[in-house]
Structure 1
Amino acid sequence: MRKIFGTDGARGIANIEITPEISLRIGVAIGKLFYGNGPILIGEDTRLSSEMLRLALATGIISASTDVTIGFIMPTPAVSLLLRIMKNFSAGCVVSASHNPIEFNGIKIFDKNGFKLSDENEEYIEELMESNIERSPVNIGRVFYDENIRDFYVDYIAGRFPLNLSNLKIALDLANGSTYYTTPQTLKKLTAQIFPINDKPDGHRINVECGSTHPQVISRHTVNSGAHIGISHDGDGDRVILSDETGRIVDGDDIMVILGRHFKKKGLLKNNTIVGTVMTNLAIENILKSEGINFKRAPVGDRYVLQEMLKSGAILGGEQSGHIINLLESVTGDGLITALSVLEVMVEEQKPLSKLVEGLERFPQILVNAKVKDKDVINDEKFKQFVREMEKELKTGRIIIRSSGTEPVIRIMVEGDNEIKIRDIANRIKEYLEV
């Protein structure tokens, strides 16, 4: 059997790579793994294929004598947080492909403390999927349905951020995804005036020309609605990209600086350290270091950021994509928590978002994707030599080449002091890979 789990759970093209049969087998395996420790909570995103995979997953779990609670559509981080605060679940699963296109889907698994499963546990699940698990004809798990469990998440988050937002207009792009209910409801509880778009999911339009992977949408919507801030989620709500009132896009790098400065001022920035990734703009690292904040880099992927945070004793880390982990509030990226954390800074410091990002200039950075059939091409010695030649030509800057953990693409990042040169080099590397 091919390896099922990648850098962020099991993910692939729905009904072809991630089939109901595979979902069923994953369900049997995790039902066996967590048997006797309590029910398993399942959430899902708004893709048409999510219900199909959730039904198969739940069937597998109950066939392994473990109960299931179906929470229906909710953000991925809501499942993680509910596991931590409710304490009656043995694990949680989310059927989602996050920011990926509509044809993809996947399954993420969390332990009872809200952490994504370790590589070792995922490997064990794959072993169980290949084994002949003994099942009982009479000891069958049951399925329970709780459509209101996401309100528990909303109430908890609103309680953690008791802000008066009555003077703020907030533009929202909900990506036709899992946050279509939770983010507006939370902001309404905090008396904000909201202007949502892409908030009526139909199963087909999640992430389609909207959400955090299309930041120009929230930029335009923020300006057009006269809002003080724009909030743009991805399909499953673990990311957020912001827009200030002028339409400037505020990404994860900016957000780490905003929150890092604020936490340091309040004495909350443990070990005076922030964790980014190899993709974090070099200018951001220089800004943080100039302000006495240590900066560490991890490989791309929230699990690697979290690993480095725990190793370094940091409470704040994240990615340029808007995946921010704030251990004061959660153990995984939560777009709503991140947005509220920035709103808290705006309220407490009485500054518009444009002032909070003032002076946060970047080195020009180009990101391109090369579609490939074999992602191992980046290990080819001829390709490595080609990249070394490009680095010599670049002189000042960085070239980062990595394979996507969730899509059949190679991601190319070129950073330097000359935008024309870095764009040319990025495109030449892309052309080399796609030949």
Structure 2
Amino acid sequence: SGATLNINLIWGNTAQRNLFGQRGVSGLANIDITPEFAVKLGAAYGSTLKPGSHVTVSRDQRSIARMVSRSLISGLMSVGVNIQNLEATAIPVARAVIPTLGVAGGIHVRLHPDRADHILIEFFDAKGIDIPKGKEKKIEGAYFKEDLRRAQIHEIGLVTYPSRVIDTYTTAFEHHLNIEAVRNSKSKVVIDYAYAVSGAVLPRLLGKFGCDAVVLNASLNQNAPSLTEREAMLSQLGQVVQALQATFGVQVSANGEQFVLVDEVGTPIRGEPLTALMTHMVLTANPRGTVVVPVQATGAIEHIARRHDGQVIRTKANPTALMEACQENSNVVLGGSSDMGFIFPQLHPGFDAMFCIAKLIEMLTVQEHTLGQIWSELPRISHRAQTLRCPWTVKGALMRHLVETHSTDQLELIDGVKILNHAKDSWLLILPDAGEPLVHIFANSEDRDWADQQLREYRSRAQAFIEQEQGIHQSPQEAAS
């Protein structure tokens, strides 16, 4: 009798196995993530909560995020969940206010930080941390089984607009900052918002503490800037920092979560050096503290921690694992990495570029150093990375093969397979990508030649294994064609 499909197969992606990827639910804007999809997703999430619960909904400033968040709100209301609508709010602010509102959780909608044509929908728990895998599975179950509550007219959720959201964040922000140091610093900071202004809370806050904040590209573009445009803005930022003789410059991205630094002479600091620099500065301010970083972060972190009697905890390479580890362990003074952002767990559980910038001003003043001076004191570690295509079907076999071909005292299995070279204080990591058919290979050593040689060797070993496995899985007809 033919099948009735309720997903449009012309536009949509192939039939989904999961809604959630490495972080949240993401898909092509208005093709995968449509208003009707968002209504159903909102209803599925709401169905996993008690009727009458409250959740926050927040978003970036773009129209596409407004459209998706309104659809999510309709879905949530339809299953009897009340909404605290934070509207356009930078994600660190949204996370910080969740515990103060006594809600069951929250949703944030934004353009995907790494894919300009994708929307990212993230779900938070009552503390403002990304929800755990178990909760994601519950939402997926409700979505695919269409196991959705239908509220009666008098039970439909209400929408309220909490006031003083920014004030709540500002108060916490000030509480965790040495305001005297910031005020006495006479700093001048250049902030580039790259046309994706995250509520522009920061210039106002810095102004309040007597810092001079010069803001660039603070209007809003509906589209995210391309990589080339971002690089052009970064070099412009470097020129402005030099011309104004500013303390440093910073380009903020990912709706207030991530940033790239520019030192006083206009040189960008990003990637692993940024992770090392932040670790060095925070441990100098808090000796014997604990730092939480993802499994693939540079080995310079351990060198820096040894200088300051600090501890290092490494986690799986995803934001939820980092946030949870920062909350579960005591004495954590910093968490994160340059590619996800940095966490100051005392303030709130998420990544926060805005607080990071204020903290940098404070630490530079107290430590009486420029960024360039600190940067020159960091340990010189070679940290190399390459990415390899690897079909989903082969990923597990590749990891098993690597574990079986190395002795257990060489292995660390936090996430992917890390092969340790104790003699050289070096390591190599093979990490499967959570969202794409890829594996990432990282080599880390004080010896640049060792890192390059290991990267080449393991890349060709992995490549050979993938080809061999694909050969086994091919039918004779395919192999002949």
The TM-score normalised by the length of structure 1 is 0.84
Partner residue in 1 for 2:135: 121
Counterpart residue type for residue 7 of structure 1:
Q
1:281 partnered with 2:298: yes
Secondary structure, counterpart of 1:236 in structure 2: helix
Partner residue in 2 for 1:403: 432
Secondary structure, counterpart of 2:286 in structure 1: helix
Question: How far did 1:228 drift?
Answer: 0.5
Counterpart residue type for residue 119 of structure 2:
N
The structure-2 alpha-carbon separation of the partners of 1:42 and 1:324, relative to structure 1 and needing over 3 Å to count, comes to same
Partner residue in 2 for 1:54: 69
Question: How far did 1:181 drift?
Answer: 1.4
The structure-2 alpha-carbon separation of the partners of 1:169 and 1:293, relative to structure 1 and needing over 3 Å to count, comes to same
Distance 1:121 1:392 in 2: 34
Partner residue in 2 for 1:329: 347
More deviation, 413-422/119-128: 413-422
Aligned length: 425
Counterparts of residues 131-146 of structure 1 (less than 5 Å): 131-138=146-153, 139-145=155-161
Question: How far did 1:21 drift?
Answer: 2.8
Residue-by-residue CA offset, 1:204-226 (whole Å, 9 max, x unaligned): 02564466999666545533442
Distance 2:441 2:196 in 1: 27
More deviation, 139-148/323-332: 139-148
Q: Structure 1 vs Structure 2: percent identity of aligned residues? A: 18
Secondary structure, counterpart of 2:364 in structure 1: helix
Partner residue in 1 for 2:282: 259
Distance 1:215 1:92 in 2: 33
Counterpart residue type for residue 377 of structure 2:
G
Question: How far did 1:426 drift?
Answer: 5.0
Partner residue in 2 for 1:66: 81
1:353 partnered with 2:371: yes
The structure-2 alpha-carbon separation of the partners of 1:235 and 1:306, relative to structure 1 and needing over 3 Å to count, comes to closer
Distance 1:306 1:258 in 2: 20
Counterpart residue type for residue 115 of structure 2:
P
Contact residue 31 and residue 66 of structure 1 kept, 8 A: yes
Counterparts of residues 245-394 of structure 1 (less than 5 Å): 245-246=264-265, 247=267, 249=269, 251-264=274-287, 272-315=289-332, 316-321=334-339, 323-370=341-388, 372=389, 374-381=391-398
Contact residue 174 and residue 235 of structure 1 kept, 8 A: no
Question: How far did 1:202 drift?
Answer: 1.4
Residue-by-residue CA offset, 1:408-434 (whole Å, 9 max, x unaligned): 654332333455775576578399499
1:106 partnered with 2:120: yes
Contact residue 43 and residue 74 of structure 1 kept, 8 A: yes
Partner residue in 1 for 2:195: 176
Partner residue in 2 for 1:4: 19
Please, which runs of 5 or more residues in structure 2 have no aligned partner?
1-15, 407-418, 468-481
Distance 2:232 2:115 in 1: 10
More deviation, 216-225/118-127: 216-225
Contact residue 277 and residue 300 of structure 1 kept, 8 A: yes
Question: How far did 1:347 drift?
Answer: 2.5
Distance 2:349 2:303 in 1: 27
- Over the residues paired in the alignment, what is the CA RMSD in angstroms? 3.6
Partner residue in 1 for 2:479: none
Residue-by-residue CA offset, 1:378-419 (whole Å, 9 max, x unaligned): 43449967xx89x899x9643323233455654332333455
Question: How far did 1:377 drift?
Answer: 4.0
The structure-2 alpha-carbon separation of the partners of 1:306 and 1:197, relative to structure 1 and needing over 3 Å to count, comes to same
Secondary structure, counterpart of 2:92 in structure 1: helix
Question: How far did 1:159 drift?
Answer: 5.3
Question: How far did 1:173 drift?
Answer: 2.2
Question: How far did 1:311 drift?
Answer: 4.5
Partner residue in 1 for 2:110: 96
Please, which runs of 5 or more residues in structure 1 have no aligned partner?
none
The structure-2 alpha-carbon separation of the partners of 1:314 and 1:131, relative to structure 1 and needing over 3 Å to count, comes to farther
Q: Alignment partner for residue 199 of structure 1, among 203, 206, 218?
A: 218
Residue-by-residue CA offset, 1:152-184 (whole Å, 9 max, x unaligned): 434542454333167111011223335251222
The structure-2 alpha-carbon separation of the partners of 1:362 and 1:45, relative to structure 1 and needing over 3 Å to count, comes to farther
Counterpart residue type for residue 106 of structure 2:
G
The structure-2 alpha-carbon separation of the partners of 1:220 and 1:402, relative to structure 1 and needing over 3 Å to count, comes to farther
The structure-2 alpha-carbon separation of the partners of 1:13 and 1:291, relative to structure 1 and needing over 3 Å to count, comes to same
Q: Alignment partner for residue 92 of structure 2, among 57, 70, 77?
A: 77
Partner residue in 1 for 2:46: 31
